[in-house]
Homo-oligomer: A and B are copies of this chain.
């Protein structure tokens, strides 16, 4: 089975993008941390350890590229900075967010797909995705 690194390289090639050292380091960093939810700043810091000379603009540009290639996903949990994570196309998953410490828990999709069809019919929309979030306080903060 094709792994994520290969997949990324293939997608780059297919879309006429070049495989640069920076893009490789960035991808490696993202893949290296299982279940990582990170900001652009987080990624920048992590990547800097491997490549001293990388610039913030490259981080942003690569994040945007990866979104387009469906390698990663963006969330706007808090209004200050965006949070990214590896894209998972198989199973939707949603989030439980602590309003105090920002802790994130993922849980898998609980079949609210039936709602999609209802909404599509009722409002004449073509629904492509949904996001479900629960906000509250975690064990330590409640």
Number of copies: 2
**Which of under 10, 10 to 19, 20 to 34, or 35 or more describes the interface residues of A?**
35 or more
- A1 at the B interface (CB under 8 A): no
- A142 at the B interface (CB under 8 A): yes
CB-CB under 8 A from A115, the residues of chain B are 110, 134
Give residues 105-142 of A contacting B (CB, 8 Å): 105, 107, 110, 112, 115-116, 119-120, 122-139, 142
- A10 at the B interface (CB under 8 A): no
Name the residue on B nearest A131 (C-beta). Answer: B133
Question: B-contacting residues of A (Cβ < 8 Å)?
Answer: 74, 76-79, 82, 96, 98-99, 105, 107, 110, 112, 115-116, 119-120, 122-139, 142
